[in-house]
Homo-oligomer: A and B are copies of this chain.
Amino acid sequence: MKTFGNVVNVFRVLVKGHLSSGMTVLDATSGNGHDTLFLLDLVGENGFVYAFDYQSTAIEATATRCMHNGVLPTNLKLICDSHANLDQYIESETLDAAVFNLGYLPGGDKAITTKVESTAAAIEKALMALKSGGLLYILCYAGHPSGVEEYRYLQLKLSALPQRTFDVMTVDFINQAGKPPVMWVIEKK
């Protein structure tokens, strides 16, 4: 059992060190709902989770995973829409954390992936939606063509965020073959 080994494990350790009961968070890419459930557990009954996916199969899978005795928790809002519209659902400066796990739905149609245009718009809006002290986590898979585009765009965009307003860090695995996923973590000051 590895402690780290990939950015998903590092993400989980960092988020556990940061989130606590009562916080409000966004899962911008709910997929099969693994992260959504993980976030729900961390923020507890007094917290709140928004979960977006534009594929209804993903929203259904997330609902199934997060149900408890057949009932969806009242502190989870599932939204079947593009995360590029998140400002229609979430007010500015209200989130303690936001998570983007980019790419395609595991087990789904690999031709349907997040795209750089909507990812860019959604991340811009997620930064607005963060409170001061809030954190944005972005996991990016540069092993497929639209992932490469997202990686290039985000590396350029995020490294240019003003230091007076944000701290931007990257987590990279540097001795692995192929193109292992990378993570950015952006903290709003």
Interface residues of A (CB under 8 A from B): 1-6, 10, 13-14, 16-18, 133, 135, 155, 158-163, 166-177, 185, 187, 189
Extra 16 A-B pairs, beta carbons < 8 Å, given A16-B17, A159-B174: A3-B17, A3-B18, A4-B14, A4-B135, A5-B167, A10-B14, A13-B14, A14-B17, A17-B17, A161-B175, A162-B175, A167-B173, A168-B175, A169-B172, A170-B174, A172-B172
- The CA-CA distance from A84 to B187 in the complex, in Å, is 37
B175 touches A163 (CB 8 A): yes
List, in ascending order, chain B residues with CB within 8 A of A166's CB: 175
Query: Known contacts A173-B168, A175-B167; is A187 also within 8 Å of B16 by CB?
Result: no
Main secondary structure of the interface of A (DSSP, over half): mixed
Which of chain B's residues has its CB closest to A177's CB?
B163
B17 touches A169 (CB 8 A): no
B174 touches A172 (CB 8 A): no
Question: Which single member of B2, B14, B169, B187 contacts A174 (CB below 8 Å)?
Answer: B169
Query: Known contacts A16-B17, A17-B13, A18-B13; is A4 also within 8 Å of B185 by CB?
Result: yes
Which of chain B's residues has its CB closest to A7's CB?
B169
A10 touches B175 (CB 8 A): no
A172 touches B170 (CB 8 A): yes
- The CA-CA distance from A135 to B2 in the complex, in Å, is 10
Q: What are the 7 closest A-B residue pairs judged by CB atoms, nearest first? A: A13-B17, A168-B175, A159-B174, A5-B167, A3-B18, A169-B173, A170-B172
List, in ascending order, chain B residues with CB within 8 A of A133's CB: 1-3
Which of chain B's residues has its CB closest to A167's CB?
B5
List, in ascending order, chain B residues with CB within 8 A of A10's CB: 14, 169
Query: Known contacts A18-B13, A158-B174, A161-B175; is A2 also within 8 Å of B169 by CB?
Result: no
